[in-house]
């Protein structure tokens, strides 16, 4: 029985990933920021929502299929951008992208990925989205999106919630720093994880040498050990609405903003021609006091209506979470860690396992709640009007 066979849910995959990865890498993937309140609240937000099952509906022909931006997806889910899949598994981004293509859901490639967009486009296929961290030198960003367009990426996601570097105190504590350098602590950590060392690190060393940020524009396409100035140029403090106007003019495909938390920002984005809004607190990895995405979702979805596609990101670990997000107005969800854990345990097969687990759970939740298709998922599935109202923020005023 393989490690994957022993995983029945995302938490099993998480625990298996913890055994396999050096502590520094695992915690970089797994943890939040500061006191990890936002991280916990993302889960608490989902867990608070109670559903009621509907009896005696013939759900035998049910389907999870949907359309996202006019194209089919086998379920309302896409892979979130994470710059870490290539650390979890050799060429992990490619493995994850192949799993997404096989599952017929979109894959998002991150700016800081270690596999080039050219390689992903050529070898993975499927529906591809590209996530952009806007560079201080804007011209570099324009070159990057031009490159993404040339390579057939259908959507551009601009991340707008990473204005300053977050406080992730465990990284320096673990000796795990970006850019990488061989701190004694991290070297000891790596030495205790021979499977990862042989299967990931050595494979890079014996093929390409040190992994590079393959999607950074030249002359910044340097190894992950390069000095901090490589990442400094990505600082987002000056990012503003005027930039969005320019990106809208330059990008001919679907444009999304990732990291929307407020209805007024969402409405403004629509005025700037944005097609999709990703309600996200970055998986609890940035501002620790951030509202849980699932709690922010209803007001945003209501303000947006049919004018743009709303996607929920942060905290999804179970298929029932997807059903809850749909009921609160999302068209789909993104998964970050859930599919990363799978990649860390088994590359493409592990990512497919993670997607399959969540799909199966979603399918069962649809059946229990009597929903035969995603269009039938509404707040009607919530327990009682009071619960639906509370979720929609109506009775959440201070007492």
What is the contact surface with ligand FMN in residues (CB under 6 A)? Answer: 28-29, 42, 80-84, 110, 112, 131, 159, 258, 280, 282-283, 285, 313-316, 335-338
- Of 28 and 368, nearer to ligand FMN (C-beta) is 28
Give 176-230 as a DSSP string.
--SS----HHHHHHHHT-HHHIIIIIHHHHHHTSS-B-TTSPTT---BTTS-THH
> Shortest gap between Cβ of 285 and ligand FMN (angstroms)?
6
- Of 115 and 314, nearer to ligand FMN (C-beta) is 314
- The CA distance from 265 to 253, in Å, is 21
Strands 66-68 and 71-73: antiparallel
- Of 92 and 370, nearer to ligand FMN (C-beta) is 92
H/E element holding 40?
helix 37-48
> Shortest gap between Cβ of 257 and ligand FMN (angstroms)?
11
Is residue 282 flagged as an active site residue? yes
Query: Which residue's CB atom is positioned nearest to ligand FMN?
Result: 336
- Of 166 and 175, nearer to ligand FMN (C-beta) is 166
Residue 373, number of CB atoms within 10 A of its CB: 14
According to DSSP, the residues that pair with 254 across neighbouring strands are 155
> Shortest gap between Cβ of 232 and ligand FMN (angstroms)?
15
- Of 80 and 239, nearer to ligand FMN (C-beta) is 80
Residue 117: burial class (beta carbons within 10 Å; 0-12, 13-18, 19+): buried
Residue 307, number of CB atoms within 10 A of its CB: 15
> Shortest gap between Cβ of 376 and ligand FMN (angstroms)?
25
Query: Both tokens of residue 338?
Result: 């859930």
Give me the catalytic one of 90, 149, 193, 282. Answer: 282
Q: Which of 269, 265, 321, 264 has the alpha carbon at shortest distance from 292?
A: 321
Q: In sequence order, which residues have a C-beta less than 8 Å from that of residue 338 and are 6 or more positions away?
A: 10, 13, 316, 317, 354, 358
Give me the helix-helix angle, 23-30 and 10-20, nearest 10°.
150
Q: Which residues are catalytic?
A: 282
């Amino acid at each position: 029985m393989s490690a994957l066979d022993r995983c029945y849910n995302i938490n099993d995959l998480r625990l298996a990933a913890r055994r396999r990865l050096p502590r520094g890498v695992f915690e970089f993937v797994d943890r939040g920021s500061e006191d990890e309140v936002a991280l916990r609240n993302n889960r608490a937000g989902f867990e608070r929502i109670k559903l009621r099952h509907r009896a005696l509906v013939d759900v035998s022909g049910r389907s999870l299929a949907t359309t996202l931006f006019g194209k089919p997806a086998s379920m309302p889910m896409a892979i979130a951008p994470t710059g870490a899949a290539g650390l979890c598994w050799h060429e992990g981004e490619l493995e994850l992208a192949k799993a997404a293509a096989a599952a017929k859901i979109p894959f998002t490639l991150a700016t800081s990925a270690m596999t080039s967009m050219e390689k992903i486009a050529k070898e993975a296929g499927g529906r591809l989205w590209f996530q952009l961290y806007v560079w201080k030198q804007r011209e570099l960003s324009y070159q990057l999106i031009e490159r993404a367009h040339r390579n057939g990426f259908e959507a551009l996601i601009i991340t707008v919630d990473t204005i300053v570097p977050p406080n992730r105190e465990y990284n320096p504590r673990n000796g795990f720093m970006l850019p990488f350098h061989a701190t004694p602590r991290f070297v000891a950590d790596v030495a205790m994880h021979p499977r990862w060392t042989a299967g990931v690190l050595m494979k890079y060393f014996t093929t390409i040498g040190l992994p590079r940020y393959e999607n950074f524009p030249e002359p910044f396409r340097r190894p992950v050990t390069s000095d901090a100035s490589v990442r400094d140029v990505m600082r987002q403090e000056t990012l503003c609405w005027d930039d969005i106007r320019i990106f809208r003019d330059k990008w001919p495909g679907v444009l999304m903003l990732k990291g929307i938390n407020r209805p007024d920002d969402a409405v403004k984005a629509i005025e700037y021609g944005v097609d999709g809004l990703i309600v996200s607190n970055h998986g609890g990895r940035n501002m620790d006091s951030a509202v849980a995405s699932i709690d922010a979702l209803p007001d945003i979805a209501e303000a947006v209506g049919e004018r743009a596609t709303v996607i929920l990101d942060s905290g999804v670990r179970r298929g029932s979470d997807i059903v809850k997000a749909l009921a609160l107005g999302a068209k789909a969800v993104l998964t970050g860690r859930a599919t990363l854990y799978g990649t860390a345990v088994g590359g493409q097969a592990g990512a497919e396992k993670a997607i399959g687990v969540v799909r199966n759970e979603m399918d069962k939740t649809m059946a229990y709640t009597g929903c035969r298709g995603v269009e039938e998922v509404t707040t009607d599935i919530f327990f009682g009007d009071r619960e639906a109202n509370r979720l929609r923020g109506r009775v959440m005023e201070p007492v």
